[in-house]
Structure 1
Amino acid sequence: MAIVKHIKSRNANYSDAINYLLFEHDEKTGKKIVDESGRSILRKEFYMDGMNCDPMSFDKECELTNMHFHKNQKRSDIKSHHYIISYDPADVTENGLTGERAQAISMELAKQMFPGYQVLVVTHTDGHNESGNIHTHIVINSVRKSAVDRQPYMDKPHEERAGYKHRSTDKFMKTFKKAVMDRCLQEGLHQIDLLAPAEKKITQEEYMAQKSGQEKLGKVNQEIIADGLKPISTIFQTQKDYLRNAIDECAATSGSFEEFQTKLFEEFQISVVEHRGRYSYLHPDRQKKITECALGTRYGKEHLEQTFLHKDPIAILYVRSHLRLVVDLQTNVKAMQSPAYARRVKLTNLQQMANTIIYVQKHGIDTQTDLKKLLLNSQKALAECQNQLAQLAAERKTLNSQIHYTGQYFANKDVYSQFLKSRNKGRFRKEHATEIQAYEEARDWLKSFYPDGKMTGMKTLKSQKEKLQHQIDSEKELVKTMREKLKTLETADYNVDKILQMQIPETEKAKTNNYER
């Protein structure tokens, strides 16, 4: 699906935008990559066009427009707006999306949404960190160069006049997203509803904070491992991510808001209150609450109350455990440095040991051998489930090819029939080379796929894909549930090992003798 991002810039140097879009940059540092001679390296594949300007002189033309209208003279002024349309990676393999086609689609959207502005449109095919997703950058000067007809999304007087500054209002963004959705559906590309509130809302700021935090944590952990010690954590969590994970875990086992509220506080030290029909959460390291709107609809009152009342049938099969790994104080750097932290860890360890014993007793695990067998069986079951999911995904890929080539075949069949009847076939082929080539490609593929010549109809293919997608979605949910179960078993196994390694007083040995058999 295509998604839309918006970034405001107060940078008065428009050349920076051109440099970033044309030349390779290090994704981590943001610095330009140069060759051995110190020269900038062009991106491997890109498509560039300008609107109301020459793309190569976009920077100078924007500066002239600003001077003409006496705008963007202050440091605090927003000089440009940067919109990014990211297309679904699956569109490349399933729907034939290319960089050239994405550029054409984005140019049409730019003409529709930014009339009168100087616009630079550049499409990249490498994706973020070479992920492969095709995406288009639309950079506009914030000052309108020429007057245009008034548009439905304009809500300020004289907004259509030359010299007026662009405003990325909610009304404008809704119109832009609607235009992107309509165009993607028209082009047969994957698309989701961009106007519906996000189930899990992650802003650009949070994404960058998580990325930066993970890099810093990785460097610290490398130093810890080099010293022969064990890192406390390998995954960096933003405060919002901490809240989301805690809410998901507590909501899955709560039958009411009161129970949910109690579990959040007792297990994660998170306070939650309801105010004016909405939930607000207080992270243990913050003084200001974070509202449900900042986390996503999945963490709001409306969704969670439905979760309390109607449990997911798959979730009933496996209730998440609250087990945490017992921390090894002998190798924990932070515990060595802080006696207060070490005391807190000891108390937490005692609680997790008790939870582990309750867990194994509750699940009828009498010996450590039984626990190991259960863990091994769970690993095998997950592997089988993952293999099944991979097979279904392969079937979907084949089905997508059938749909793609069947549609391509019938879309160009009439042109090919005209070609066969034409008197000057060479001239006709030259004039309709794209359609004829597409027909012949689809015909040859379908011949190899259907040796008997009996093609499956498009309606049947789409029905098969819908059923297959339901199977895949169900299998994904099952894999997710089995992974959670396996993680809990691994935690229990680790904790039991730690418990049995410790020196236990004689009075306590009787409680754990069963696990030593």
Structure 2
Amino acid sequence: MATFKHISSKNADYGAAEAYLTFEHDEFTMKPTLDENGRLISREDYRISSLNCGGEDFAVACMRANLRYEKNQKREDVKSHHYIISFDPRDAADNGLTVDRAQALGEEFCAEHFPGHQAIVCTHPDGHNHSGNIHVHIVINSLRIEEVPLLPYMDRPADTRAGCKHRCTDAAMEYFKAEVMEMCHRENLYQIDLLHGSKNRITEREYWAQRKGQAKLDKEAAALPAEEQPAKPTKFETDKEKLRQAIRTALSSTASYGEFAAVLLQQGVTVKESRGRLSYLTPDRTKPITARKLGDDFDKAAVLALLTQNAHRAAEQSKAIPEYPHTQKGRLREEKATKTTPADNTLQRMVDREAKRAEGKGVGYDRWAAKHNLKQMAATVTAYQQYGFSSPEELDEACSAAYTAMQESLAELKQVEKTLNGKKELQRQVLAYSKTRPVRDGLKQQKNAKAKAAYRQKHESDFIIADAAARYFRENGISKLPSYKALQAEIESLIKEKNSGYNDYRAKREEYRRLQTVKGNIDQILRRERKPVKRQEQER
């Protein structure tokens, strides 16, 4: 399972990168390890080489290039990019991966994907946790010294010019990960899907927090006397890991979203939903942790799917044995009910393998696409039967009807939002006008025009606010101002109506998208040509 990681550095000392690769460093403080004489300790085994340095040292070559192009002179500039390819520890024993072979693969990867950059490639036989995973470090100068052809991950003309800098965008990382997967497949090495998320997403920061915390616990346990040693080895858990366990415990014992939120709330964790995404707020934080930072098992789709499974399981367990066997009429009713309410599974679009091959996708991607299409073909046929369609034309009509219903729901939602915004603006103007009432009453108490002018000039900002509010009332035909409490009640009622309308729109949108997915897959299975009108609707 080769993994790919990127680190950007603003350190102007290019020699520090080479020193880290060739000398031993403390894994927690990242400071070099010294012997009893205060000298650096060289790493026991590594391979290192440089590219595009013209026979000079990497640091000297980078500094010369920066001076020539007058780049990387500011403190906030990114000076270098550090990429790490970590191979599976089993590759050494099962697939014959050696340090020399990994070094050759790293040099090939660097030359192919980072042309025109000064770089050093270094391979280590082991990682921080001594798991035996061979990994390759690729450090490049952010400045490009040669004109290069346009590569697939580049999207600007400056990405190919000499004197411009390398940009590690999201699209570039996706491309690099796909290339690492293709390289592992080509070399018959273990690999995982790097293009999709993981069940538990452990960031670099959380990884090191866990390592440091575990080391601290081990040190404290070792300092205790033998009779006070804990019965079981103590395992350090980060706050995110504790939150993951709390969420999994709540998911294992609940069958609805309300129960799930209530169980977590008993532990002090608040579940929030915003724009279709879940986040979790713990008692010791002011900012919630999004599900994306915890892992794919904690996002909304996964949580609702697991709760649905729990509900079905509970219903099956509590279902009583009927006193009399079902009649044929009853069975037909049950079958009809299941057809009208298809289960929400992981139905996805099928991949056009021919188009992807034309784009340059490799053999590994094509094999994955073949398996993916088989799974989605089966899921599509199941969904097609659950809806009860008898022909593709009925599916087309259902798609059109679902699109119309979605647009009508959206139009109603927009109208409610417009009314709500108007009420909020009116409430704001009423509040602003009422706050200036003491100043306006003070103007009436002035005896002559000179005193009134001086008073108005003294409270000019308040009168500007009052005049703006009065102008708003005249433009909207408001002669009698409503009370603040009445407006607040209307706003709360409109908010409830908006939330209900949004839930209705979201349900109809999901139904339309599901039907569109079924239709697209059916068209691909039957090799039907899609209508341009449907494509325009899908783009909307």
Q: TM-score range by the shorter chain?
A: 0.5 to 0.7
Equivalent residue, structure 2, for 1:95: 95
State whether residues 27 and 129 of structure 1, in contact with CA within 8 Å, keep that contact through their aligned partners in structure 2.
Answer: no
In the alignment, residue 208 of structure 1 is paired with which amino acid? W
Q: SS in structure 2 opposite 1:195?
A: coil
CA distance in 1, matches of 2:55, 2:238: 39
State whether residues 271 and 278 of structure 2, in contact with CA within 8 Å, keep that contact through their aligned partners in structure 1.
Answer: yes
Q: SS in structure 1 opposite 2:190?
A: coil
State whether residues 80 and 141 of structure 2, in contact with CA within 8 Å, keep that contact through their aligned partners in structure 1.
Answer: yes
In the alignment, residue 84 of structure 2 is paired with which amino acid? I
User: Cα distance, 1:314 vs. partner?
Assistant: 12
Equivalent residue, structure 1, for 2:174: 174
In the alignment, residue 148 of structure 2 is paired with which amino acid? V
In the alignment, residue 215 of structure 1 is paired with which amino acid? A
State whether residues 224 and 231 of structure 1, in contact with CA within 8 Å, keep that contact through their aligned partners in structure 2.
Answer: no
CA distance in 1, matches of 2:16, 2:140: 13
User: Cα distance, 1:281 vs. partner?
Assistant: 0.3
Query: Residue 232 and residue 129 in structure 1: after superposition, are their counterparts in 2 closer, same or farther (change >3 A)?
Result: closer
Equivalent residue, structure 2, for 1:15: 15
CA distance in 2, matches of 1:64, 1:284: 53
In the alignment, residue 59 of structure 2 is paired with which amino acid? D
Query: Residue 286 and residue 311 in structure 1: after superposition, are their counterparts in 2 closer, same or farther (change >3 A)?
Result: same
User: Cα distance, 1:78 vs. partner?
Assistant: 1.0
2:264 counterpart of 1:271 = no
Q: SS in structure 1 opposite 2:136?
A: strand
CA distance in 1, matches of 2:39, 2:138: 26
User: Cα distance, 1:48 vs. partner?
Assistant: 1.1
User: Cα distance, 1:28 vs. partner?
Assistant: 3.1
State whether residues 45 and 126 of structure 1, in contact with CA within 8 Å, keep that contact through their aligned partners in structure 2.
Answer: no
Query: Residue 216 and residue 37 in structure 1: after superposition, are their counterparts in 2 closer, same or farther (change >3 A)?
Result: closer
CA distance in 2, matches of 1:247, 1:219: 30
Please give the residue correspondences for 1:196-215 in structure 2 after superposition, counting only pairs within 5 Å.
196-215=196-215
State whether residues 255 and 311 of structure 2, in contact with CA within 8 Å, keep that contact through their aligned partners in structure 1.
Answer: no
User: Cα distance, 1:279 vs. partner?
Assistant: 0.8
CA distance in 1, matches of 2:222, 2:41: 31
2:186 counterpart of 1:191 = no
2:284 counterpart of 1:296 = no
Render the CA deviation track for 1:420-472: whole Å, top value 9, x for unaligned: xxxxxxxxxxxxxxxxxxxxxxxxxxxxxxxxxxxxxxxxxxxxxxxxxxxxx
In the alignment, residue 69 of structure 2 is paired with which amino acid? F
Equivalent residue, structure 2, for 1:45: 45
User: Cα distance, 1:312 vs. partner?
Assistant: 12
Equivalent residue, structure 1, for 2:114: 114
CA distance in 2, matches of 1:35, 1:217: 26
Render the CA deviation track for 1:316-344: whole Å, top value 9, x for unaligned: 9xxxxxxxxxxxxxxxxxxxxxxxxxxxx
Q: SS in structure 2 opposite 1:92?
A: helix
Query: Residue 44 and residue 167 in structure 1: after superposition, are their counterparts in 2 closer, same or farther (change >3 A)?
Result: same
CA distance in 2, matches of 1:309, 1:315: 10
CA distance in 2, matches of 1:67, 1:101: 36
Render the CA deviation track for 1:45-87: whole Å, top value 9, x for unaligned: 1111211116870011111111111111111111111111000
Equivalent residue, structure 1, for 2:516: none
Equivalent residue, structure 1, for 2:163: 163
In the alignment, residue 192 of structure 2 is paired with which amino acid? I
In the alignment, residue 272 of structure 2 is paired with which amino acid? V
CA distance in 1, matches of 2:19, 2:68: 25
User: Cα distance, 1:196 vs. partner?
Assistant: 0.7
Equivalent residue, structure 1, for 2:244: 244
In the alignment, residue 114 of structure 2 is paired with which amino acid? F
User: Cα distance, 1:231 vs. partner?
Assistant: 11
The percent of aligned pairs where both chains have the same amino acid is: 47
Query: Residue 314 and residue 10 in structure 1: after superposition, are their counterparts in 2 closer, same or farther (change >3 A)?
Result: farther
User: Cα distance, 1:257 vs. partner?
Assistant: 1.1
Equivalent residue, structure 1, for 2:142: 142
Equivalent residue, structure 2, for 1:305: 304
CA distance in 2, matches of 1:50, 1:312: 59
User: Cα distance, 1:285 vs. partner?
Assistant: 0.6
Render the CA deviation track for 1:234-290: whole Å, top value 9, x for unaligned: 433222112111111111222111111111111x21110222211110011101111
User: Cα distance, 1:94 vs. partner?
Assistant: 0.8
User: Cα distance, 1:96 vs. partner?
Assistant: 0.7
Q: SS in structure 1 opposite 2:292?
A: helix
Equivalent residue, structure 2, for 1:392: none
CA distance in 2, matches of 1:119, 1:314: 57
Query: Residue 228 and residue 44 in structure 1: after superposition, are their counterparts in 2 closer, same or farther (change >3 A)?
Result: closer
Report the aligned-residue RMSD: 2.8
Q: SS in structure 2 opposite 1:142?
A: strand
Equivalent residue, structure 2, for 1:256: 256
Query: Residue 111 and residue 28 in structure 1: after superposition, are their counterparts in 2 closer, same or farther (change >3 A)?
Result: same
State whether residues 256 and 311 of structure 2, in contact with CA within 8 Å, keep that contact through their aligned partners in structure 1.
Answer: no
CA distance in 2, matches of 1:229, 1:314: 44
State whether residues 272 and 281 of structure 1, in contact with CA within 8 Å, keep that contact through their aligned partners in structure 2.
Answer: yes
Q: How many residues align?
A: 315
Q: SS in structure 1 opposite 2:29?
A: coil
Please give the residue correspondences for 1:87-486 in structure 2 after superposition, counting only pairs within 5 Å.
87-220=87-220, 234-266=234-266, 268-311=267-310
State whether residues 49 and 55 of structure 1, in contact with CA within 8 Å, keep that contact through their aligned partners in structure 2.
Answer: no
Unmatched segments (≥5 aa) in structure 1: 317-517
State whether residues 153 and 175 of structure 1, in contact with CA within 8 Å, keep that contact through their aligned partners in structure 2.
Answer: yes
In the alignment, residue 147 of structure 2 is paired with which amino acid? A
What TM-score comes out, normalization by structure 1 length? 0.57
CA distance in 1, matches of 2:93, 2:73: 47
Q: SS in structure 1 opposite 2:278?
A: strand
User: Cα distance, 1:233 vs. partner?
Assistant: 10
CA distance in 2, matches of 1:251, 1:270: 13
User: Cα distance, 1:91 vs. partner?
Assistant: 0.7
CA distance in 2, matches of 1:211, 1:226: 24
User: Cα distance, 1:311 vs. partner?
Assistant: 4.8
State whether residues 148 and 161 of structure 2, in contact with CA within 8 Å, keep that contact through their aligned partners in structure 1.
Answer: yes
Query: Residue 161 and residue 260 in structure 1: after superposition, are their counterparts in 2 closer, same or farther (change >3 A)?
Result: same
Equivalent residue, structure 2, for 1:78: 78
State whether residues 221 and 231 of structure 1, in contact with CA within 8 Å, keep that contact through their aligned partners in structure 2.
Answer: no
Render the CA deviation track for 1:145-168: whole Å, top value 9, x for unaligned: 111011121122321101111111
Query: Residue 226 and residue 93 in structure 1: after superposition, are their counterparts in 2 closer, same or farther (change >3 A)?
Result: closer
User: Cα distance, 1:218 vs. partner?
Assistant: 4.1
CA distance in 2, matches of 1:255, 1:146: 60
Equivalent residue, structure 2, for 1:362: none
CA distance in 1, matches of 2:229, 2:4: 44
User: Cα distance, 1:108 vs. partner?
Assistant: 1.2
Query: Residue 56 and residue 45 in structure 1: after superposition, are their counterparts in 2 closer, same or farther (change >3 A)?
Result: farther
Task: Decide which moves more: 223-232 or 175-184.
Answer: 223-232
Render the CA deviation track for 1:201-254: whole Å, top value 9, x for unaligned: 111111122222333444455567699697999433222112111111111222
Equivalent residue, structure 2, for 1:419: none
CA distance in 1, matches of 2:5, 2:115: 19
Q: SS in structure 1 opposite 2:144?
A: coil
CA distance in 1, matches of 2:196, 2:123: 26
CA distance in 1, matches of 2:314, 2:34: 52
User: Cα distance, 1:109 vs. partner?
Assistant: 1.0
Query: Residue 55 and residue 181 in structure 1: after superposition, are their counterparts in 2 closer, same or farther (change >3 A)?
Result: farther
